[in-house]
Structure 1
């Protein structure tokens, strides 16, 4: 385990062909470990995919406000990939088939309606999904990938259909790729999460973590992120963005997407 945590351990170099890829992804969160994540990714020469929502941060701002704009510009310049996580972090609650319009209910954890039940038509959900893409393009000059991740990975037939109508594919994660940074640290200590991930992750898996979780007392990123990267490299795995994924990397960027119907 100590060997796996050594930052300088040998592994595939950035120039090596990535023949056994895993896809490391991050959802926004409170941004408390964002600088650390960026340092680790740069040091390990790993490219990741970030899913962006406008979430409240530890400093009292928002993850897509002007304070964080330079951070996102730097990540875009480094070649990472980006997708939507909805603007106000809307978690799916229920489809509403009785309405006959493809609508569904959600509950946002952010924004003016935080904690209140909301209802979306497909067109309205498309607008919600596009807001992070529009903000990201305004900050960086780059377009997001035509991908989104529903908060918590909670989806339904109506929600997925709304995303498809907007030109967006939903991205979940592999069972082994759930890295556990949102679990309570009293029951799931970092050493246990690291050992499980190193044992179970396989080539092709999509991994998910966050740029800060409010509920976890012992932060995951300082203890687990770099040892995990180094350990997976030692197993012969390499890292790629969803831009290179065989399923998700084929569509054009969001700037060229059609309007929702």
Structure 2
């Protein structure tokens, strides 16, 4: 006579509900809040993707200068990812018949209107990526973010021809640290983010914004992280993002700036 199966024996472990991924990205800035941000990320075991340009800083010789190199090296050891934000934080302004109208907001040509070819833009992207690898020992992702998110189809095609896919951000992922604090106070920005962010969103903030009087990161970043985690969200880098994972894998070990196939 067969014995009835004991319902408490040999049962498969209960499946833990998968987390809802979001992708926090941080662009460079004046870097004054960079140590605070690093402490918060480390405390909550959050991994992010940094988009880096060599911007003017409150202390030190530029966000990718030698003074900040040790900071970046520690971030690499912690498992964060890096990608290009151009070298001199160069804004696209317009397409031209044989290139682009560009305007750096840092470096020796700060504020000037420049005419660049596609090859010059590729060199600008590659300069940041190569420098990141040199100071961290970690290869940058074959991704970039145009300053201000400003692009054109022609600019995106030029970047892709030399191996870079563009990453913007989700509507709810614009965390508002660039906005004037008198009209967009930190508490309002936090409430909006916690209300609107959904799984799969790419979030964007900065390592310091010159124009904002009431800094965003000291007030918002930690409660945003803990608030999202309490709602079942988890933080992943863009290496794991479904829209970019295949592109990153397809680039493999090709040198930075090598043409995509």
Tell me the TM-score normalized by structure 1. 0.89
Return closer, same or farther for 1:229/1:160 CA change in 2, 3 Å cut-off: same
* Conservation of the 8 A alpha-carbon contact between 1:18 and 1:239: no
* Conservation of the 8 A alpha-carbon contact between 1:144 and 1:254: no
Max radius of gyration: which structure?
A: 2
Please give the per-residue CA displacement for 1:16-56, whole angstroms capped at 9, x wherever unaligned: 88631000000000101000000000000000000000001
Tell me the TM-score normalized by structure 2. 0.89
- Rounded Cα–Cα distance in structure 1 between residues aligned with 2:53 and 2:259: 20
Please give the per-residue CA displacement for 1:168-188, whole angstroms capped at 9, x wherever unaligned: 000000000000001000000
- Rounded Cα–Cα distance in structure 1 between residues aligned with 2:140 and 2:201: 21
- Rounded Cα–Cα distance in structure 2 between residues aligned with 1:42 and 1:249: 24
After alignment, is 80-89 or 56-65 more displaced? Answer: 56-65
- Partner residue, 1:259: 258
Structure 1 stretches (4+) deviating beyond 2 angstroms?
Answer: 16-19, 252-261
Matched, 1:82 2:78: no
Task: Please list every run of 5 or more consecutive structure 1 residues that lacks an aligned counterpart in the other structure.
Answer: 1-15
How far is the alpha carbon of 1:225 from its aligned partner?
0.1
Return closer, same or farther for 1:156/1:66 CA change in 2, 3 Å cut-off: same
Return closer, same or farther for 1:44/1:165 CA change in 2, 3 Å cut-off: same
- Rounded Cα–Cα distance in structure 2 between residues aligned with 1:18 and 1:158: 39
1:195-214 superposed matches below 5 A: 195-214=191-210
- Partner residue, 2:44: 44
Larger RCO: Structure 1 or Structure 2 (Cα < 8 Å, ≥ 6 residues apart)? Answer: 1
The alignment partner of 1:256 has SS state of coil
Return closer, same or farther for 1:153/1:145 CA change in 2, 3 Å cut-off: same
* Conservation of the 8 A alpha-carbon contact between 1:24 and 1:239: yes
1:170-181 superposed matches below 5 A: 170-181=166-177
- Rounded Cα–Cα distance in structure 2 between residues aligned with 1:85 and 1:34: 17
After alignment, is 135-144 or 191-200 more displaced? Answer: 135-144
- Rounded Cα–Cα distance in structure 2 between residues aligned with 1:258 and 1:82: 15
How far is the alpha carbon of 1:259 from its aligned partner?
3.1
- Rounded Cα–Cα distance in structure 1 between residues aligned with 2:257 and 2:110: 29
- Partner residue, 2:6: none
- Rounded Cα–Cα distance in structure 2 between residues aligned with 1:61 and 1:118: 24
Length, aligned pairs only: 242
Task: Please list every run of 5 or more consecutive structure 2 residues that lacks an aligned counterpart in the other structure.
Answer: 1-15
